[in-house]
Structure 1
Amino acid sequence: MTAVTLNEVLEPAMTEGYALAGLVVLGWEDAVAFVEAAENTGCPVILQAGPGCRAHTPIPVIGKMLRYLADQASVPVVCHLDHGYTLEDCVAGIDHGFSSVMFDGSRLPISENIELTARLAEKAHRADVSVEGEVGFVGYADGASSAFTDPAEASRFDRESGADAIAVSVGNVHLQTEKTDGIDFDALKAIEAVTSKPLVLHGGSGIPPEVRQRLAKESRVCKFNLGTELRQTFGSALRETLDENPRLFDRIEILKSVIPPMRASTEKIFQTITKI
């Protein structure tokens, strides 16, 4: 089937009380594993190309790769450009096959964030592409600290930006290598009270599976971005392959070995948060 928009998969999730996984793609092998896991479980999947991926593989290349996988898949696949820091990056994503783009204006004053997101949304929606925005700043485990989302700013963004989904900061943190129970449910409820759009939590790897499950069932959080824990699976599988086969040198054979463990880890994620 062809790629679907973020809106097409998040609206049912929000209505029916489950969530989807936005999975960070860094190459062919992990993308294949993610789609195979989605097909094995019957779950929609969101394949995400973030700044790191795009620095390694240009937008025209990664866009076509994700779109190819979506076209071959038997389940809905969203091809999502994650953390576009400029409108130019997001427009390039629209032009090269992405069915969803995220403009990250979280570091900007709220009025400028809304204005730029609205400009993008107007162009994206004409091309049948969804838009995710961000209010508040989600920090990094070994970097910049988070700034929690202001409910009043989230309310304005919800009404004025044209975004189809809103990423928020309520204790979630990027690049967490260990699970932490840092989600502030009261802060999340305050945001939910003044917004209507599907909500997104970046830094999903740091959120314990049971907390993700609770959020999926009891809140309007419909999308968890997950990268670090799957990169850990990739690294462990790669080291194991090389340790067990020290004379192995063929790139394709080495990298193919990570697909089964990546697929298994992804299926466990789907089983926790997605309606199967």
Structure 2
Amino acid sequence: MTLATLTEVLGPALREGYAVPGLVCLGWEDMRAYVAAAEAERAPIILQAGPGCRAHTPLPVLGAMFRHLAEAASVPVVAHLDHGTSREDCRAALDAGFTSVMFDGSRLPLQQNIDLTAAVAELAHSAGAGCEGEIGFVGYAGGATSAGTDPEEAARFARETGVDAMAISIGNLHLQETPGGGLDLPRLRAIEALTDVPLVIHGGSGVPADQRASLAATSRIAKFNIGTELRMAFGAALREAVNRDPARFDRIEILRETETPVALACRAILRNLGASGRV
């Protein structure tokens, strides 16, 4: 059994100069592909159930799926709730067997974000699980505008919440389909100077691959969330599988053909972040 907590995978990443991907899951096929990629690369991974995934599949089912895959794997696999919006969300995930929860209070006033995140961190730690919080607000491509993380607020947030990982806003955006102009390095260095908690970048698909690799090796960023580029790989593989034989209707046969391309895309991400060969 290699079900792991957030601290168990991010601690070594921070010490040894690599980052672990938080892999956004939408269904059984991509989950299986991610674990197959991790096995092939001998790398730790974090399987993430975000709001879209939870709207499609009940949380207890997702917990059982994540735990089943982790318990059969020979590499560390974290079962992570992404963007929980309440203490109740996070408690339900812990009850469902998740080993890590992210409470997202990034749109709340600072004190309220600190208070609620601290409560969730205490809840998670009492269950033997990890907790991620967010300070600043990471916006969305074509949608809500970001609010950059203030380094002094980040220091206070890390100190007063007791989180195991802290998501920050330094030019990253959710849902970018192509790499953007890169992250705000002066803001990152200012945050690093005042905190010692592992840092997390949401919207990792929009960060140029060379900068992801460099920061994984040389900064306190220990987790990059990757979703859009892997969903794009899945979509391309699915369209190819359907178009190869338009008369086919067996969904299992069609969906099975997405797993190898998605696994290959995931393996490239693991290598890029320096996570390969770590376990």
List structure 1 segments (4+ residues) > 4 angstroms apart after TM superposition. none
| SS of alignment partner, residue 80 of structure 2 | strand
Mapped to 2, the partners of 1:126 and 1:207 lie a distance apart of 35
Mapped to 1, the partners of 2:239 and 2:120 lie a distance apart of 42
- For residue 42 of structure 1, what is the amino acid of its counterpart? R
Mapped to 2, the partners of 1:177 and 1:123 lie a distance apart of 35
- For residue 33 of structure 1, what is the amino acid of its counterpart? A
Mapped to 2, the partners of 1:76 and 1:236 lie a distance apart of 28
| SS of alignment partner, residue 40 of structure 2 | helix
Alignment of 1:21-170 (within 5 A): 21-170=21-170
2:121/2:162 contact within 8 Å kept: yes
Alignment of 1:96-245 (within 5 A): 96-245=96-245
2:23/2:34 contact within 8 Å kept: yes
- For residue 185 of structure 2, what is the amino acid of its counterpart? F
- For residue 204 of structure 2, what is the amino acid of its counterpart? G
TM-score by length of 1: 0.99
Task: String of CA shifts for 1:16-47, please: whole Å, max 9, x gaps.
Answer: 11101000000000000000000000000100
TM-score by length of 2: 0.98
Shift of 1:52: 0.2
| SS of alignment partner, residue 106 of structure 2 | coil
- For residue 58 of structure 2, what is the amino acid of its counterpart? P
| SS of alignment partner, residue 132 of structure 2 | strand
Shift of 1:93: 0.4
Mapped to 1, the partners of 2:97 and 2:106 lie a distance apart of 25
Shift of 1:230: 0.4
Mapped to 1, the partners of 2:121 and 2:170 lie a distance apart of 25
* CA RMSD between the two structures: 0.7
Mapped to 2, the partners of 1:274 and 1:50 lie a distance apart of 25
Shift of 1:2: 3.5
Task: String of CA shifts for 1:162-188, please: whole Å, max 9, x gaps.
Answer: 110000000000000011123100010
Mapped to 2, the partners of 1:72 and 1:142 lie a distance apart of 39
Shift of 1:142: 1.3
Task: String of CA shifts for 1:189-234, please: whole Å, max 9, x gaps.
Answer: 0100101100000000011111100110111000000000000000
Mapped to 2, the partners of 1:75 and 1:210 lie a distance apart of 26
1:43/1:274 contact within 8 Å kept: no
Mapped to 1, the partners of 2:159 and 2:138 lie a distance apart of 21
Task: String of CA shifts for 1:119-143, please: whole Å, max 9, x gaps.
Answer: 1111111111000000000000010
1:63/1:97 contact within 8 Å kept: yes
Mapped to 2, the partners of 1:121 and 1:202 lie a distance apart of 19
Aligned residue number for residue 17 of structure 2? 17
1:85/1:103 contact within 8 Å kept: yes
Task: String of CA shifts for 1:239-270, please: whole Å, max 9, x gaps.
Answer: 11111111110010011010000000000000
| SS of alignment partner, residue 258 of structure 1 | helix
Mapped to 2, the partners of 1:173 and 1:121 lie a distance apart of 25
Mapped to 2, the partners of 1:264 and 1:79 lie a distance apart of 21
Mapped to 2, the partners of 1:245 and 1:117 lie a distance apart of 50
Mapped to 2, the partners of 1:196 and 1:49 lie a distance apart of 26
Instruction: Identify the range of structure 1 (174-183 vs 220-229) with the bigger mean alpha-carbon deviation.
Output: 174-183
| Residue 247 in structure 1 maps to residue 253 in structure 2 | no
What stretches of structure 2 of length at least 5 have no aligned partner? none
Task: String of CA shifts for 1:104-161, please: whole Å, max 9, x gaps.
Answer: 0000111111111111111111111000000000000010010000111100011110
Shift of 1:274: 2.4
What stretches of structure 1 of length at least 5 have no aligned partner? none
